[in-house]
Protein backbone atom coordinates (compact mmCIF):
# COMPACT_ATOMS: atom_id res chain seq x y z
CA UNK A 1 0.00 0.00 0.00
CA UNK A 2 2.71 2.43 0.95
CA UNK A 3 6.20 2.56 -0.42
CA UNK A 4 9.53 3.26 1.07
CA UNK A 5 10.08 6.90 1.88
CA UNK A 6 13.33 8.81 2.02
CA UNK A 7 16.01 6.36 1.01
CA UNK A 8 18.49 9.15 0.82
CA UNK A 9 20.98 9.42 3.56
CA UNK A 10 21.45 12.77 5.23
CA UNK A 11 24.82 13.47 3.65
CA UNK A 12 23.40 12.69 0.19
CA UNK A 13 20.71 15.29 0.71
CA UNK A 14 23.36 17.83 1.57
CA UNK A 15 25.43 16.86 -1.47
CA UNK A 16 22.39 17.28 -3.68
CA UNK A 17 21.50 20.66 -2.24
CA UNK A 18 24.96 22.13 -2.59
CA UNK A 19 25.45 20.58 -6.03
CA UNK A 20 22.20 22.07 -7.26
CA UNK A 21 23.15 25.45 -5.89
CA UNK A 22 26.39 25.29 -7.84
CA UNK A 23 24.88 24.02 -11.07
CA UNK A 24 22.04 26.52 -10.87
CA UNK A 25 24.55 29.30 -10.52
CA UNK A 26 23.44 30.34 -7.04
CA UNK A 27 27.01 29.52 -6.08
CA UNK A 28 29.60 30.69 -8.57
CA UNK A 29 33.15 29.66 -9.26
CA UNK A 30 35.39 31.12 -6.60
CA UNK A 31 32.64 31.56 -4.03
CA UNK A 32 33.52 30.32 -0.57
CA UNK A 33 30.93 28.32 1.30
CA UNK A 34 30.32 29.10 4.97
CA UNK A 35 32.60 27.37 7.42
CA UNK A 36 31.88 23.81 8.44
CA UNK A 37 30.70 24.92 11.85
CA UNK A 38 28.23 27.30 10.27
CA UNK A 39 27.08 24.87 7.61
CA UNK A 40 26.42 22.12 10.10
CA UNK A 41 24.05 24.45 11.91
CA UNK A 42 22.42 25.58 8.67
CA UNK A 43 21.67 22.01 7.64
CA UNK A 44 21.09 21.01 11.23
CA UNK A 45 23.43 18.05 11.03
CA UNK A 46 26.62 16.98 12.71
CA UNK A 47 29.97 18.07 11.47
CA UNK A 48 31.00 14.53 10.59
CA UNK A 49 28.03 14.06 8.31
CA UNK A 50 28.64 17.43 6.72
CA UNK A 51 32.25 16.51 6.08
CA UNK A 52 31.23 13.32 4.31
CA UNK A 53 29.09 15.44 2.04
CA UNK A 54 31.92 17.88 1.39
CA UNK A 55 34.30 15.02 0.60
CA UNK A 56 31.91 13.74 -2.02
CA UNK A 57 31.55 17.17 -3.56
CA UNK A 58 35.31 17.50 -3.58
CA UNK A 59 35.70 14.14 -5.30
CA UNK A 60 33.14 15.22 -7.87
CA UNK A 61 35.35 18.16 -8.66
CA UNK A 62 32.75 20.71 -7.58
CA UNK A 63 34.58 22.20 -4.61
CA UNK A 64 38.07 22.51 -3.30
CA UNK A 65 38.71 22.45 0.43
CA UNK A 66 41.42 24.73 1.70
CA UNK A 67 43.09 24.74 5.07
CA UNK A 68 43.79 27.53 7.47
CA UNK A 69 42.07 30.69 8.48
CA UNK A 70 41.26 32.00 5.04
CA UNK A 71 40.28 28.50 4.01
CA UNK A 72 37.02 26.70 3.53
CA UNK A 73 35.14 25.09 0.68
CA UNK A 74 35.62 27.01 -2.53
CA UNK A 75 33.50 26.39 -5.60
CA UNK A 76 35.76 25.13 -8.35
CA UNK A 77 35.72 25.76 -12.03
CA UNK A 78 34.72 22.41 -13.43
CA UNK A 79 37.12 20.79 -15.85
CA UNK A 80 37.73 17.42 -17.44
CA UNK A 81 39.72 16.04 -14.54
CA UNK A 82 36.93 13.83 -13.25
CA UNK A 83 36.30 12.38 -16.67
CA UNK A 84 39.99 11.84 -17.01
CA UNK A 85 40.27 10.14 -13.65
CA UNK A 86 37.32 7.93 -14.43
CA UNK A 87 38.93 6.90 -17.68
CA UNK A 88 42.20 6.26 -15.90
CA UNK A 89 40.48 3.97 -13.44
CA UNK A 90 38.84 2.06 -16.25
CA UNK A 91 42.20 1.65 -17.88
CA UNK A 92 44.04 0.58 -14.77
CA UNK A 93 41.38 -1.71 -13.45
CA UNK A 94 40.31 -3.86 -16.22
CA UNK A 95 39.13 -4.14 -19.73
CA UNK A 96 40.84 -1.12 -21.23
CA UNK A 97 44.25 -1.77 -22.70
CA UNK A 98 46.73 0.59 -24.22
CA UNK A 99 45.79 -0.71 -27.62
CA UNK A 100 42.22 0.28 -26.97
CA UNK A 101 43.33 3.72 -25.95
CA UNK A 102 45.64 4.08 -28.93
CA UNK A 103 42.89 3.08 -31.32
CA UNK A 104 40.49 5.50 -29.74
CA UNK A 105 43.04 8.27 -29.91
CA UNK A 106 43.55 7.67 -33.60
CA UNK A 107 39.85 8.13 -34.23
CA UNK A 108 39.46 11.13 -31.96
CA UNK A 109 42.46 12.99 -33.31
CA UNK A 110 41.14 12.39 -36.80
CA UNK A 111 37.78 13.83 -35.93
CA UNK A 112 39.29 16.79 -34.15
CA UNK A 113 41.51 17.60 -37.12
CA UNK A 114 38.59 17.42 -39.51
CA UNK A 115 36.37 19.62 -37.36
CA UNK A 116 39.21 22.05 -36.79
CA UNK A 117 39.84 22.29 -40.51
CA UNK A 118 36.24 23.28 -41.03
CA UNK A 119 36.38 26.03 -38.43
CA UNK A 120 39.85 27.47 -38.10
CA UNK A 121 40.27 31.22 -37.98
CA UNK A 122 43.34 33.22 -38.93
CA UNK A 123 44.16 33.62 -35.24
CA UNK A 124 44.00 29.86 -34.78
CA UNK A 125 46.43 29.33 -37.62
CA UNK A 126 48.75 31.93 -36.12
CA UNK A 127 48.81 30.10 -32.85
CA UNK A 128 49.44 26.75 -34.52
CA UNK A 129 52.19 28.23 -36.64
CA UNK A 130 53.78 29.68 -33.55
CA UNK A 131 53.76 26.28 -31.91
CA UNK A 132 55.28 24.74 -35.00
CA UNK A 133 58.07 27.28 -34.76
CA UNK A 134 58.71 26.29 -31.17
CA UNK A 135 58.76 22.66 -32.20
CA UNK A 136 61.26 23.48 -34.92
CA UNK A 137 63.54 25.05 -32.32
CA UNK A 138 63.35 21.94 -30.14
CA UNK A 139 64.44 19.77 -33.02
CA UNK A 140 67.28 22.06 -33.97
CA UNK A 141 68.44 21.95 -30.36
CA UNK A 142 68.91 18.23 -30.71
CA UNK A 143 67.78 15.29 -28.65
CA UNK A 144 68.16 17.15 -25.40
CA UNK A 145 64.94 18.97 -26.17
CA UNK A 146 63.10 15.76 -26.91
CA UNK A 147 60.69 16.12 -24.01
CA UNK A 148 60.02 19.73 -24.89
CA UNK A 149 59.09 18.60 -28.39
CA UNK A 150 56.67 16.02 -27.06
CA UNK A 151 55.10 18.69 -24.90
CA UNK A 152 54.62 21.00 -27.87
CA UNK A 153 53.26 18.14 -29.93
CA UNK A 154 50.66 17.64 -27.25
CA UNK A 155 49.84 21.34 -27.20
CA UNK A 156 49.32 21.40 -30.94
CA UNK A 157 46.81 18.60 -30.66
CA UNK A 158 45.06 20.32 -27.77
CA UNK A 159 44.98 23.57 -29.71
CA UNK A 160 43.25 21.80 -32.56
CA UNK A 161 40.70 20.56 -30.06
CA UNK A 162 40.12 24.12 -28.96
CA UNK A 163 39.66 25.19 -32.57
CA UNK A 164 36.74 22.79 -32.87
CA UNK A 165 35.00 25.06 -30.35
CA UNK A 166 33.44 21.99 -28.83
CA UNK A 167 34.50 21.51 -25.21
CA UNK A 168 33.77 17.81 -25.34
CA UNK A 169 36.65 17.29 -27.72
CA UNK A 170 38.89 19.25 -25.42
CA UNK A 171 37.90 17.17 -22.42
CA UNK A 172 38.08 13.86 -24.20
CA UNK A 173 41.38 14.56 -25.87
CA UNK A 174 42.76 15.85 -22.61
CA UNK A 175 41.75 12.63 -20.91
CA UNK A 176 43.29 10.56 -23.66
CA UNK A 177 46.57 12.42 -23.49
CA UNK A 178 46.61 12.27 -19.71
CA UNK A 179 46.27 8.56 -19.76
CA UNK A 180 48.39 7.74 -22.73
CA UNK A 181 51.32 9.68 -21.37
CA UNK A 182 51.06 8.02 -18.01
CA UNK A 183 52.03 4.83 -19.77
CA UNK A 184 54.19 6.03 -22.55
CA UNK A 185 56.45 8.44 -20.78
CA UNK A 186 58.86 5.66 -19.90
CA UNK A 187 59.30 4.80 -23.55
CA UNK A 188 59.81 8.29 -24.83
CA UNK A 189 63.11 8.22 -26.58
CA UNK A 190 62.72 9.14 -30.22
CA UNK A 191 65.79 9.44 -32.33
CA UNK A 192 66.62 12.31 -34.66
CA UNK A 193 64.83 10.84 -37.67
CA UNK A 194 61.65 10.09 -35.76
CA UNK A 195 61.54 13.60 -34.41
CA UNK A 196 61.88 14.95 -37.92
CA UNK A 197 59.09 12.73 -39.20
CA UNK A 198 56.80 13.84 -36.43
CA UNK A 199 57.57 17.44 -37.10
CA UNK A 200 56.81 17.06 -40.78
CA UNK A 201 53.52 15.36 -39.89
CA UNK A 202 52.50 18.34 -37.81
CA UNK A 203 53.45 20.83 -40.50
CA UNK A 204 51.37 18.99 -43.07
CA UNK A 205 48.50 18.75 -40.64
CA UNK A 206 48.42 22.44 -39.82
CA UNK A 207 48.62 23.25 -43.50
CA UNK A 208 45.62 21.06 -44.26
CA UNK A 209 43.71 22.69 -41.41
CA UNK A 210 44.60 26.11 -42.74
CA UNK A 211 43.31 25.22 -46.18
CA UNK A 212 40.13 23.83 -44.68
CA UNK A 213 40.76 20.37 -46.12
CA UNK A 214 38.83 18.41 -43.53
CA UNK A 215 39.24 14.94 -44.98
CA UNK A 216 42.90 15.41 -45.65
CA UNK A 217 43.48 16.77 -42.16
CA UNK A 218 41.66 13.81 -40.71
CA UNK A 219 43.81 11.36 -42.58
CA UNK A 220 47.03 13.15 -41.70
CA UNK A 221 46.11 13.24 -38.03
CA UNK A 222 45.22 9.57 -38.04
CA UNK A 223 48.45 8.62 -39.75
CA UNK A 224 50.43 10.77 -37.37
CA UNK A 225 48.89 9.15 -34.31
CA UNK A 226 49.10 5.73 -35.87
CA UNK A 227 52.81 6.12 -36.47
CA UNK A 228 53.28 7.26 -32.90
CA UNK A 229 51.37 4.25 -31.66
CA UNK A 230 53.39 1.83 -33.74
CA UNK A 231 56.54 3.47 -32.53
CA UNK A 232 55.51 3.09 -28.90
CA UNK A 233 54.44 -0.48 -29.39
CA UNK A 234 57.78 -1.43 -30.82
CA UNK A 235 59.49 0.26 -27.87
CA UNK A 236 57.32 -1.70 -25.49
CA UNK A 237 58.07 -4.91 -27.29
CA UNK A 238 61.77 -4.21 -27.20
CA UNK A 239 61.55 -3.70 -23.49
CA UNK A 240 59.80 -7.02 -23.05
CA UNK A 241 62.37 -8.79 -25.20
CA UNK A 242 65.10 -7.26 -23.17
CA UNK A 243 63.47 -8.46 -20.01
CA UNK A 244 63.14 -11.95 -21.44
CA UNK A 245 66.80 -12.00 -22.38
CA UNK A 246 67.81 -11.06 -18.87
CA UNK A 247 65.66 -13.77 -17.40
CA UNK A 248 66.21 -16.73 -19.62
CA UNK A 249 63.75 -18.80 -17.73
CA UNK A 250 61.19 -16.50 -16.19
CA UNK A 251 59.79 -18.03 -13.04
CA UNK A 252 56.16 -18.80 -13.35
CA UNK A 253 54.53 -18.54 -9.96
* 227 binds its own copies, rule: CB under 8 A: no
Q: How far apart are alpha carbons 22 and 25 in whole angstroms? A: 5
# residues contacting DNA (CB under 7 A)? 25
* 11 binds its own copies, rule: CB under 8 A: yes
CB of 116 vs its own copies, minimal distance in Å: 12
* 90 binds its own copies, rule: CB under 8 A: yes
| Residue 62 or 195 having the CB closest to its own copies | 62
Burial category of 50 from C-beta neighbours within 10 Å (exposed 0-12, middle 13-18, buried 19 and up): buried
Per CB under 8 A, the list member of 27, 33, 87, 131 interacting with its own copies is 87
CB of 60 vs DNA, minimal distance in Å: 15
Which contacts of 72-79 are long-range, i.e. CB under 8 A and separated by 24 or more positions? 72/32, 72/33, 72/34, 72/35, 72/36, 73/32, 73/33, 74/30, 74/31, 74/32, 74/33, 75/22, 75/27, 75/28, 75/29, 75/30, 75/31, 75/32, 75/33, 76/29, 77/29, 77/30, 79/171
CB of 70 vs its own copies, minimal distance in Å: 18
Residue 78 site contact among DNA, its own copies, none (CB < 5 to 8 Å, cut-off depends on kind): its own copies
Q: Which of residues 13-32 bind DNA (CB under 7 A)?
A: none
Helix axis angle, 167-184 to 98-119, nearest 10°: 140
Q: Which of residues 21-40 bind its own copies (CB under 8 A)?
A: 22-23
**Mapping DSSP to helix (H, G, I), strand (E, B) and coil, where does residue 216 land?**
helix
Q: Which of residues 151-190 bind its own copies (CB under 8 A)?
A: 166-169, 171-172
Q: How far apart are alpha carbons 8 and 243 in whole angstroms? A: 53
Beta-strand runs (E) in 31-113: 63-66, 72-75
Q: Which of residues 113-152 bind its own copies (CB under 8 A)?
A: 115
Per CB under 8 A, the list member of 13, 31, 64, 103 interacting with its own copies is 103
Q: How far apart are alpha carbons 182 and 176 in whole angstroms? A: 10
Q: Which of residues 66-125 bind DNA (CB under 7 A)?
A: 66-73
Measuring CA to CA, which residue among 182, 202, 228, 231 is closest to residue 139?
Answer: 202
Question: Taking CB under 8 A as the rule, which mask of x and - marks residues 67-86 in contact with its own copies?
Answer: -----------x-x-xx-xx
Residues that bind DNA (CB under 7 A): 9-11, 33, 35-37, 44-49, 51-52, 54, 65-73
Residues that bind its own copies (CB under 8 A): 11, 22-23, 48, 51-52, 55-56, 59-62, 78, 80, 82-83, 85-87, 89-90, 92-96, 100-101, 103-104, 107, 111, 115, 166-169, 171-172
Amino acid sequence: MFQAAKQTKVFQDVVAQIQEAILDGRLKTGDTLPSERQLKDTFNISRGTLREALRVLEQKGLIEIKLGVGGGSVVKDLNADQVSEGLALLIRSQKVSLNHLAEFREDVEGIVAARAAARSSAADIDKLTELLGAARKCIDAGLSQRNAFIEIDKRIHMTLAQVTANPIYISVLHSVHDNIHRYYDEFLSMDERELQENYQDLCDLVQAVEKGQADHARQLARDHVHRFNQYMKSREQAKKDNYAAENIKPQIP
